[in-house]
């Protein structure tokens, strides 16, 4: 791994023995950076507009070029926006120059902007119609307040969005210090330097050096009591989630891998505590899991499932009983060993392609601003790190999480 400075831009080179090359751009700008309700959805809208043309290519030419190169797409999350092109080694230079042009020299045409409005409104309607999406975005705003608003925006903000709002957001957050270009695959560093010296020249003078402000800190609201949302008809399946205390970035760093491995042991599959008890033994649901919801600086550890409304009280009580048991006893040694192996498998599986590796280890640079040596990215390194997480760590973590939680259901009453 090498961090290069080219025309003031961060370029992260991740050499891998793969001829499928992944070229990504990650920008620390998402929905949580939208302070004004009138701007809700601007980060996502901006992501769409980049694909509507550059100063030299219209959307049709972009679509054809990107399809010819391989696979390409973009996504906006709550904290960052990511663009990528996955291509073959002979077309590395062409793909690199195209993604740089896309981001650094967009057309920002008002006619295309206005056409895209209805596309995004339809996308938003799809989110509203899909029960899981509806539950997820309704719960986020309930737990995290206004900063948890839907990534796509609101009906009002989308109807009144202007292209000037997109330009303002781009100038504020799409700065050299707030983005990273990532190259992963079988490309020599000298070639990366040569290609990006040319590719990034298009934005070396027009791209602001530094972001003008810092984002506001996020906060998770604990102690909100019970909340129910309604979606669909009387026969709709119910959703249930329990949101416990979670760790911020500093706490996760101090805890090492305990946070993620604890969630695996509690709700990572049929072998987990909740999978075994609530699905296998009680037969209350098809799937139950544990994960983490929130932001880099404010998270919640949550348990989630879908089930019949009548089974919610029993499932809720069973989760609380299992959490209490883990606070006292931790996990069996068989489960501790299983989670170590399963976590290692998941890590290696996610990083077996250039695209997966770039996503797993490249995007995280924006959070840590840290690069790692080759010795820190080996199977043996991670195996050793996972072996250090013991049952005592799990017991401490379970007690740190505690017994307070927010209880959220959909179609549960």
Task: Using pLDDT thresholds of 50, 70 and 90, give the confidence band for residue 248.
Answer: confident
- Lowest model confidence (mean pLDDT) among 227-241, 312-326, 334-348: 227-241
What are 95-116's pLDDT values in tens digits?
999 999 999 999 999 999 999 9
CATH 3.30.70.2750 fits 2-203, yes or no: no
Strands of 70-76's sheet in order across: 2-6, 9-15, 179-185, 20-27, 81-88, 70-76
- Give CA angle at 343 (341, 345), nearest 5°: 70
The helix/strand/coil state of 286 is coil
Angstrom distance (rounded) from CA 304 to CA 386: 25
| Best-predicted range by mean pLDDT (245-259, 283-297, 354-368) | 283-297
Mean pLDDT of 85-101: 98
Q: Look up residue 291 and give its two tokens.
A: 């994960």
CATH class of 226-410: alpha beta
Write the CA distances from 359 to 256, 350, 393, integer angstroms: 20, 9, 28
Task: Using pLDDT thresholds of 50, 70 and 90, give the confidence band for residue 379.
Answer: confident
- Lowest model confidence (mean pLDDT) among 227-241, 251-265, 276-290, 379-393: 227-241
Mean pLDDT of 20-36: 96
> Where in the chain are all domains bearing CATH 3.30.830.10?
2-203, 226-410
Cβ–Cβ under 8 Å, residues 339 and 3: no
What are 174-224's pLDDT values in tens digits?
999 999 999 999 999 999 999 999 999 999 999 999 987 888 888 888 888
Task: Using pLDDT thresholds of 50, 70 and 90, give the confidence band for residue 232.
Answer: confident
Helix (H) or strand (E) holding 301: strand 298-307
What are 130-166's pLDDT values in tens digits?
999 999 999 999 999 888 999 999 999 999 999 999 9
| Model pLDDT, residue 250 | 86
């Amino acid at each position: 791994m090498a961090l290069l400075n080219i025309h003031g831009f961060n370029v992260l080179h991740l050499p891998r023995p793969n001829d499928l090359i992944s070229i990504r751009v990650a920008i620390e700008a998402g929905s949580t950076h939208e302070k004004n309700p009138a701007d809700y959805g601007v980060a996502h809208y901006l992501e769409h507009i980049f694909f509507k043309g550059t100063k030299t290519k219209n959307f049709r030419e972009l679509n054809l070029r990107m399809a010819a190169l391989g696979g390409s797409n973009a996504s906006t999350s709550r904290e960052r926006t990511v663009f990528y092109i996955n291509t073959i080694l002979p077309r590395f230079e062409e793909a690199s120059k195209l993604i740089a042009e896309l981001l650094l020299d967009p057309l920002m045409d008002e006619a295309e902007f206005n056409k895209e409005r209805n596309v995004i409104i339809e996308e938003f309607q799809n989110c509203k119609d899909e029960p899981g999406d509806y539950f997820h975005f309704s719960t986020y705003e309930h737990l995290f307040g206004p900063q948890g608003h839907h990534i796509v925006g609101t009906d009002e903000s989308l109807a009144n969005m202007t292209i000037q709002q997109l330009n303002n957001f781009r100038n504020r957050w799409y700065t050299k210090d707030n983005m990273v270009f990532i190259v992963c695959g079988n490309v020599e560093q000298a070639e990366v330097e040569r290609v990006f010296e040319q590719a990034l020249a298009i934005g070396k003078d027009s791209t602001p050096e530094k972001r003008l402000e810092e984002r506001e800190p996020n906060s998770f609201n604990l102690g909100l009591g019970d909340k129910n949302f309604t979606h669909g008809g009387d026969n709709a399946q119910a959703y249930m989630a329990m949101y416990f205390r979670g760790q911020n970035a500093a706490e996760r760093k101090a805890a090492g891998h305990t946070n993620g491995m604890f969630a695996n042991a509690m709700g990572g599959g049929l072998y987990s505590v909740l999978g075994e008890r609530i699905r296998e033994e009680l037969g209350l649901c098809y799937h139950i899991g544990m994960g983490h919801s929130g932001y880099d600086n404010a998270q919640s550890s949550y348990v989630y499932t879908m089930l019949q409304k009548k089974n919610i009280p029993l499932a809720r009580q069973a989760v609380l009983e299992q959490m209490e048991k883990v606070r006292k006893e931790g996990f069996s040694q068989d489960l501790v060993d299983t989670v170590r192996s399963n976590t290692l498998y998941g890590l290696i599986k996610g990083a077996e392609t250039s695209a997966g590796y770039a996503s797993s280890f490249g995007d995280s640079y924006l959070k840590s601003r840290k690069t790692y040596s080759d010795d820190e990215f080996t199977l043996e390194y991670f195996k050793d790190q996972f072996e250090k997480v013991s049952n005592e760590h799990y017991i401490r973590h379970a007690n740190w999480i505690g017994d307070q939680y927010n209880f959220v259901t959909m179609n549960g009453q």
